[in-house]
Structure 1
Amino acid sequence: MTASGMNSQEARDIAYHLHSYTNAARHLEIGPMVIERGEGAYVFDNAGKRYFEAMAGLWSVGLGFNEQRLVDAATRQMQALPFYHSFSHKSHGPVIDLAEKLISIAPVPMSKVYFTNSGSEANDTVVKLLWYRSNALGQPQRKKIISRLRGYHGVTIASASLTGLPNNHRSFDLPISNVLHTMAPHFGSEGNEGESEEDFATRCAEELEALIQREGPDTIAAFIGEPVMGAGGVIVPPRTYWEKIQAVLKRHDILLVADEVICALGRTGKMFACETFGIEPDVLVMSKQITSSYFPLSAFMINERVFEPIAEESDRIGVLGHGFTASGHPVGAAVALENIAIIEERDLVRNAAETGAYMQDRLNALADHPLVAETRGIGLIGALELEPGEIPGQRGALMNRIMQDKGVISRNMTDAMAFCPPLIVSRAQIDEMMGVVTESLDILQQQMPA
């Protein structure tokens, strides 16, 4: 490598940077694609090539990559109060305003908001507070959390344990104890021959009931689930699923945690996916689109049923012994407030519903392609599942590379190609994206062995 090559961004990244969700050894060979700037739904690499960001970054940049109002909100807050904390009865204006705003738009009555910095931290904290609450109620045995296979809830020790994907557990000595997993609600892969969606949903609920009975209902603190599974393959639950799951939980007085880290603030065509699916959670977790990822921020809302025992226990002990330096950061809170204001002013939730329906139509039109096993989605989140090859994920990885070469960034989850464009996306941009998808499928088919 030349001296100039050794000093390139790519070479320095290889030399100094350990990446998330990357084959670290392979990265030493191929290096990174360096993204330099963004414009609306597009990003540009350091060679000037433009890409349509079909994943909104990481399911998260709702307003696109150069929303000046968010930059201005951060700048104003940096100038006024660049940091303050929320420990020991301290607060500040932006976090108070944001907490009030979130409670006011919650899909069900909520009592308090707790702020963290990522979805992983939020779910990790939820687990701690559920354990704390059980102790407060004099139910120390009620500590188990039920999650689902293929669910995704984060990568901290507790949240990665909730996650139901093998590579988040392998070689990490996870999951921890008191985390249980029930079946994924994917009718396409789990449904039996001749079984209707409603019958499949009944079977999912029956499996949950059986798990609860085996473990003992009085040992289960909560059930956690994404309204629509994201990283597990964009799995939309079958009809009546959430109705039947909630009936099981209510029968045993088990709390429901809705992980809306991906879905909250418009993704499914409603402000919250809980509205889309008739979910009535006790805890609702959000992140990603809360600031369009312009600033690290996450939050969860708890209802009075969850809050009251926690408050009483903190009074008995003298303190709620948990917190992060940057919880409710004033800059993040200011950005979130402006972000939500823009979503409301520009009616982006309706855009997600209407343009999302168009995206689903375009995806479904590819269902008969020889390489397509299934299309699925709702609103502005969808997936195109490829027929598997000899090696799981091989076709998905190749499809991903073909699309990226043609200027569309997607993400393959094994052989499922995910699509989650910014909330600001237009029909013309959906056409652009789907044109590349269609062309890439044809190229992939040509490259398959006869």
Structure 2
Amino acid sequence: MPAVSSPSGRSGDDRCPGALRAHQAADGLLVRVRIPGGRLDVPQLRRLAAAARQHADGTLELTSRGNVQLRGIPAADEVNRVAAVLVASGLLPSATHETVRNIVASPLSGLDSGGHLDVRPLVTAVDAALCATADLAELSGRFLVALDDGRGDVAALGADLCWTAGTGALLLAGRDVGLRVAGDEVAAAMVAAARAFLHRRAGRRDVWRIADLPEAVGAIVAALGGPHTEPADPRGPHADPVNPPRGPHAGPVGPPRAGRHAGPVGPPRVGPHPAGFVVAAAPLGRLTATQAEAVAELAGGPVVVTPWRTIVVVGLPAVTMPGLVETGLIVDPASPWIGVTACTGRPGCGSALADVRADATAALAAAGPSAAGALPLHWAGCDRCCGRPAAPAAIVVATAAGYRVAGHREEHHGPLPKRVAQARSRA
């Protein structure tokens, strides 16, 4: 029988939800399905859609780590049925390690010419290595591994461990500390780094990520045999994760290819791409079972769930594009919905002070086209700000008296976007 527990709080045992470790929310049980690299084949997507329709609230929630959540599950026996679907689909290869398979990767890797290396095989190798190492089951469900193909998209997410193609840099908590790893050694290096972190964390029940334990950085560097050098750029550790300074242990990774990005880039642009795929956004990161089934019907290849709560649909003929739009998915990069996210809010979350999804929808309708192109906006039902994007975003936080609006990290230069001002007027 799955253990039902709450992931809230950062003390005591790790309570981050998984496929077998459900979270009791106000609207029922919630399970989180780890999808390394965000990659789903069509049969897997169909089965997830069917599970959401039959055992949950009919929706697949896209998370900021490229995973999927099913919520509104009425009872623990339904969680077991969902788990059976995941096992049959190949989405639950390890019962012991299922919560630590948090692996994000550049979602367009291998689909266009924007990166230095197709990192999809590395996703498979790193996932297998993590699951094959018994003691790594002790990693927190919050521990994040990233594989950046050199374009700098997932390198900017501040993962605990991030390997970047082109330079071979292994970033720790988003920082370049001089480690360089060759491509064929990435899986082994990730395992060694994670084990060094666990060893350093031994006995601590309040530490989940490398950023929570700064002294772990030196232990990891020592375990990998590299020097510990602070980032040279005075702007800080996230200044240029794609082209960090090369250290003495660079390895045979080769120089950057001509024409590639010189710095970090944002999320994949919503809309059709010449390389033969479409990036579609689900409003507020909620992909309905009907939408997922339509995608599975139309797609000519795999679907990639991105850390920006969009999906990449491979092999979609242009003539079938209207089929996506008819389901409510967004393929227009000028849509006001682009960049707008929200936590669950009421009634699904008992901590929320407002129905943020309904309020966000109403605010966007009131703002109209003028809301397009503004700073990304996240709606939160309480001060915990669950699901807050890693990238700069304005935050609309529900309070007992209405909404409070703040810029990214409490800083926002220039006038607030119109859609934020609209939210403020609702307070």
Using the size of structure 1 for normalisation, the TM-score is 0.29
Q: Would you tell me which structure has more helix in proportion to its own residues?
A: 1
Larger Rg belongs to: 1
- Between 1 and 2, higher relative CO (CA 8 Å, sep ≥ 6) is seen in 1
